[in-house]
Chain A
Amino acid sequence: MYEPTRLHPLAAGLSFLKMLREWIIPLVIFFLFGPGNETGLTWVTYAPFLFIFFLAVYGLIHWLRFTYHIEGEELKIEHGVFIRKKRYIPKKRIQSIDYTQGILHRMFNVVKVNIETAGGGAGAEASLSAINKSDADRLAAILRDHGTGQNEEEADVQQAEELPVYTYTLSLKDLIIAASTSGGLSVTLPLVGTFGSQLDALIPEDFYVTAFNWLSGFSWIIIAALAFFSVFIAWFISFMGVILKYANFQLKRYEDRIVITRGLLEKRELTFPLQRVQGVRVVENVLRQPFGYSTVHVESAGGAGPEVGVSAMLLPIIKRSRLNDELKKILPGYELPNNMHTLPKRSLRRYLIRAVLPSVILIPAFWWLPSNLWILLLLPIAVLALFGVLRFKDGQWLVEDKTFYVQSRLISRSLLITEKRRMQDFEVMESFFQRRKRLATIKTAILSAGVGRNFNLKDVDLKDSLEAFRWYTRESK
């Protein structure tokens, strides 16, 4: 502890795995689309393995060079493979020390220690990727005792013992519903498609000919089955992704902050103070809305302390009917309103035109489609029009006392709840065409994860929008 000490050897494996993860996409691309055997250069074939070997050696050296020790009032960390780096952290500056444990950590009974300091920006913190649990406890005890007396120690203890005001735990049933309706399919399906097309290369060619001859009789069924199978695989991958991410989800509401822990293999913990909350978003995707389920996100600004701005999942899935009960306990003031303003009837036409407009790209299809198949084109147009109607119907907003609500839809329906004092600005926009119909677009921006995020609603009644403008003004008159 007082002599330069190495981390647990697992750290070497961890840094190897971390680098491997960073390089996995280039490597996979190399395997799938790389030169293969055609080049005749054997070293090209082995290059990826050589590269992986190099990463392993790098991980090992990284571990050999990484030492930490306490000297006087400082924690000293020295590391670096090509460039030697030294980082000295005064004990006094340390704000929080916490452990995380991935699945590998658990197998070796080690922990990752994260040390955070106040302010300082990026790089002001340190993490020790693998230390024996007992060593970590000793280290933490020494670092926390920064000679300033008993008071701080007591304060620490007090904080550790503070009980949450309210705890929300995600039930297994909800987790499964969340995972099966996550809509991650849209991301995983193209991936499965790419892999599927690469399978071609592995199957000998004559197999194809025989198989094709044999199958051509009932090819439609085969195609349908293959399509169904890939959709299922894609769905399963996205299902497992959500399970891994949101299993053991627990939200603890303390007097002044919210702590969210989640994760199956790797436990994640997230803390944000209530006073930095900028708004809440209630999102219902098309799979969840029909069953009355929604997800709740929270937008929080970065503070001066170690907390960074977050845009995080507050409730991964919840029945809309139970939403207000939970929000009342977790973030009072951010509840669903009873009745919001809808859009005037005359906006519907503009919503429909905007929605259907992209279908002009289908026009060339009229020429090359067989004569009476053009009727098929009506389907996508009808779907677009349907979304136009839904966007019109779901375009709602309300100002009430100090709170601003605005709901809109692209594909998913999304409702923003924020407070007047959190809105960075407010804007009313009228285009030439809107002006003729006395309509306007309202727009506001809030801070989300450190950057501005715009929310707008098109084709609100002009008079209403100016009323909202008046509500936002701080004019004394």
Chain B
Amino acid sequence: MRKEPSQKIAPKALSVWRISGALNSLLFLAASIGSVVLVTLTDLPIWVPVVVIVLSVLLSYIMIQVVPKIRYRIWRYEVREYEIELKFGLFIIRRVLIPMVRVQHVDTKQGPLLRHYNLSSVTISTAATIHEIPALDNETADQVRDFISNMARVTEEDV
């Protein structure tokens, strides 16, 4: 069996994902409220809002608690001299190899949530694909970006 990539992403990623999960589950909250309103205004059977609320609570729990935990546990990356290896996923686990020679550019970026936690994501673009390491603390992200952009420039094809 192949060894896992060595690096984990920042543990604070967990908080970020939980918050964005919570934001997304506002939609379920809205659906729950909507179903209650409907049942008071119309003669909709009572079990409809019950089902909606139970489902909403369940899905919200999954989105806020379960999904971030699994994603965080699986996320690994490793930046080596000639290539970058990623391993991530939830239901489908993906292992990706990106050779340095193929890297066209590499960016770091952060949204408001990431900025609040002093995190950045690193985006690695080849001519054909774009990959992202989602949450690294700012310092690591800058290091990774600089290292990749340096290596991508100097590496000659080994063919």
Contact = CB atoms under 8 A, between A and B. Distances in A.
A420 B128 contact: no
Contacts of B142: none
A425 interface: yes
A426 B97 contact: yes
B118 to A, nearest CB: 29
A425 B102 contact: yes
Contact of B128 (A428, A429, A452, A469): A452
B128 A470 contact: no
A473 B78 CA distance: 12
Contact of A424 (B92, B102, B157, B158): B102
A453 B80 contact: no
Given A470-B2, A474-B158, A427 B127 contact: no
Interface in A435-469: 435, 445-447, 451-453, 466, 469
Given A425-B96, A474-B99, A432 B91 contact: yes
For chain B, which range describes its interface: under 10, 10 to 19, 20 to 34, or 35 or more residues?
20 to 34
A428 B95 contact: yes
A161 interface: no
A370 B134 CA distance: 56
A254 interface: no
B128 A451 contact: yes
A181 B104 CA distance: 41
A431 interface: yes
B129 interface: yes
A341 interface: no
A430 B126 contact: no
B6 to A, nearest CB: 12
Contact of B82 (A430, A445, A469, A475): A475
B126 A472 contact: no
Most chain A C-beta atoms within 10 Å of own C-beta, residue among B1, B95, B128, B157: B128
Given A402-B159, A424-B102, A429 B92 contact: yes
A302 to B, nearest CB: 10
A425 B131 contact: yes
Nearest to B87: A428
A472 B158 CA distance: 12
B124 to A, nearest CB: 9
B95 A427 contact: yes
B127 A431 contact: no
Contacts of B159: 402, 419-421
B94 A475 contact: no
A57 to B, nearest CB: 45
B83 A474 contact: yes
A461 B131 CA distance: 25
Given A425-B97, A430-B92, A447 B128 contact: yes
A476 B158 CA distance: 11
Interface string B75-117: 0000011110100010111111111111000000000000000
Interface residues of A, number: 30
A326 to B, nearest CB: 25
B128 A424 contact: yes
Contacts of A420: 159
Contacts, number: 77
Contact of A466 (B2, B80, B83, B129): B2
A424 B126 contact: yes
Contacts of A419: 159
Nearest to B94: A429
A68 B117 CA distance: 62
B93 to A, nearest CB: 5
Contacts of A466: 1-2
A128 interface: no
B157 A421 contact: yes
A301 interface: yes
Contacts of A429: 89, 92-95
Given A446-B128, A452-B128, A453-B128, A473 B97 contact: yes
B83 A473 contact: yes
A428 B93 CA distance: 8
A473 to B, nearest CB: 6
A108 to B, nearest CB: 43
Given A402-B159, A421-B159, A453-B128, A431 B98 contact: no
Contacts of B95: 427-429, 469
Contacts of A426: 96-97
B83 A452 contact: no
A452 B79 CA distance: 23
Nearest to B127: A447
Contacts of A445: 126, 128-129
Interface of A: 301, 402, 419-421, 423-432, 435, 445-447, 451-453, 466, 469-470, 472-476
Nearest 4 A/B pairs, CB to CB: A452-B128, A474-B82, A424-B128, A445-B128
28 contacts: A421-B159, A423-B102, A424-B98, A424-B126, A424-B127, A424-B128, A425-B98, A425-B129, A428-B94, A429-B89, A430-B93, A431-B93, A432-B92, A445-B126, A445-B128, A445-B129, A447-B127, A447-B128, A452-B126, A452-B129, A466-B1, A466-B2, A469-B2, A473-B83, A473-B85, A473-B97, A475-B82, A476-B82
